[in-house]
Amino acid sequence: MVNLTYLMRLGGTTQPLVVLEPEQAALAALKILGIKDKRVEEKIREEQERKKKEIEEADKEVKDQWCMEVLFVTDLHGSKWKYERLFEVAEDFGANVVINGGDMLPQNSEPFGQGEFITNYLDNHFARFNSAGIYYLCYLGNDDLRIFDQLFEETCNKYSFVVCLAQRKFEVGGYEFVGMNWVVDYPFRLKDRCRMDTDDYIFQEQFGKGLLSTPNGWQEIDDWFAYAKMLPTIEEEINRLVRPKDMVKSVYVIHMPPYRLGLDKCYHGAEVGSKAIYDFLKKYQPKLSLHGHIHESPEVSGRWYAKLGRTICIQPGQLSEFTYVTIDLSTMKFDRIKEQYVT
Ligand SMILES: [Zn+2]
């Protein structure tokens, strides 16, 4: 092809040589030389077509990267009407990625029945997103028993568009999503995913002995504080997560909210967020962090998002209405929507 460009110069053109694509140069050269070989011409045209397709595909890829519509929802606690709406809204909104931030299973009097919800409901829910080609990043939360982690993960793994994001990183559309579902300890008895925030964490007064789920039922922990001290802290857990290559294009999905931002306020006014998560976000400055856990916080504090340096932190909450957030990652426009239950 370089030679053909050279031939063009020899072709006697007085115009300065413009930078031509090799295929264009080849065609031009053929004309100049008066070559009428149909086969050569055909080959060059084919090559031009191929190039055109390549450019179109690259354009589409770029466009896909530019349009990154994310739908974030959290703490659905097995509410089927909310799950149904989630799919409809994701389709209407044209979501590329749906993020479900934990506490996905029903919280009924018989928590050991949560496995049935995964098998009888979530499996089909995931299948719908998979068929629609919408990525679904999710994990279980502190109210979802750890004994179902394996079943949950196996169910996710049945679908290429469904990803269990617990303590993992997943890349899509040029963005890196990192998930963590450990929570700071609380007074409630279920301790499956509880951790001390930092080494000097001061425990709250407890509602009773700690409980861990086992396949044979509850295991009572006599001295939960001593037990928790042997576990890694939230600070250690968040620092050992896979680090994204580029924080500027990263989204952290952390069930537990950070402290000091008004995203962690309980009904009685206590602010129970994590110092370790706050410090991590402040230090590493990802594009976005998504949280849940304290369902009532936005209504109590009047805040559902906050800025921590360059990082936007979102905690939409979840009460009786179906509450979700739409985020355009390319423009960083985001919105919180609440829907009443309609029969
Ligand atoms: Zn929670």
Which pLDDT belongs to residue 218? 95
d(CA 33, CA 129): 57
Per-residue pLDDT 10s for the chain (343 aa) are: 444 333 333 333 444 444 445 556 555 665 555 556 778 778 888 888 888 888 877 766 665 556 899 999 999 999 999 999 999 999 999 999 999 999 999 987 778 899 999 999 999 999 999 999 999 999 999 999 999 999 999 999 999 999 999 999 999 999 999 999 999 999 999 999 999 999 999 999 999 999 999 999 999 999 999 999 999 999 999 999 999 999 999 999 999 999 999 999 999 999 999 999 999 999 999 999 999 999 999 999 999 999 999 999 999 999 999 999 999 999 999 999 999 998 7
Give this prediction's pTM.
Answer: 0.81
Radius of gyration of the chain (CA): 27
Residues that place a CB less than 5 A from ion ligand 1: 103, 141-142, 293
Under 8 Å between Cβ of 240 and 234: no
Which pLDDT belongs to residue 290? 98
- Specify the amino acid at residue 2: V
291 CA distance to ligand 1 middle (Å): 9
d(CA 148, CA 112): 9
Which pLDDT belongs to residue 34? 55
39 CA distance to ligand 1 middle (Å): 68
Which pLDDT belongs to residue 216? 93
118 CA distance to ligand 1 middle (Å): 18
Q: What is the DSSP string of 12-81?
A: T--SPPP---HHHHHHHHHHHHT---HHHHHHHHHHHHHHHHHHHHHHHHHHHHH--EEEEE---TT-HH
Under 8 Å between Cβ of 114 and 106: yes
Q: What is the DSSP string of 97-131?
A: EEEE-S--S---S-GGGHHHHIIIIIHHHHHHHHH
| CATH class of segment(s) 109-320 | alpha beta
285 CA distance to ligand 1 middle (Å): 24
- Specify the amino acid at residue 330: S
User: Scanning the structure block, which residue is given the tokens 């928590």?
Assistant: 111
3-state helix, strand, coil in the chain (%, to 5): 35, 20, 40
Which pLDDT belongs to residue 28? 60
Which pLDDT belongs to residue 108? 74
141 CA distance to ligand 1 middle (Å): 6
d(CA 258, CA 185): 14
294 CA distance to ligand 1 middle (Å): 7
- Residues of the chain within CATH 3.60.21 domain(s) are 109-320
d(CA 113, CA 106): 9
102 CA distance to ligand 1 middle (Å): 7
218 CA distance to ligand 1 middle (Å): 19
d(CA 133, CA 311): 29
Residue 164 sits at φ, ψ, to 5 deg, of -85, 115
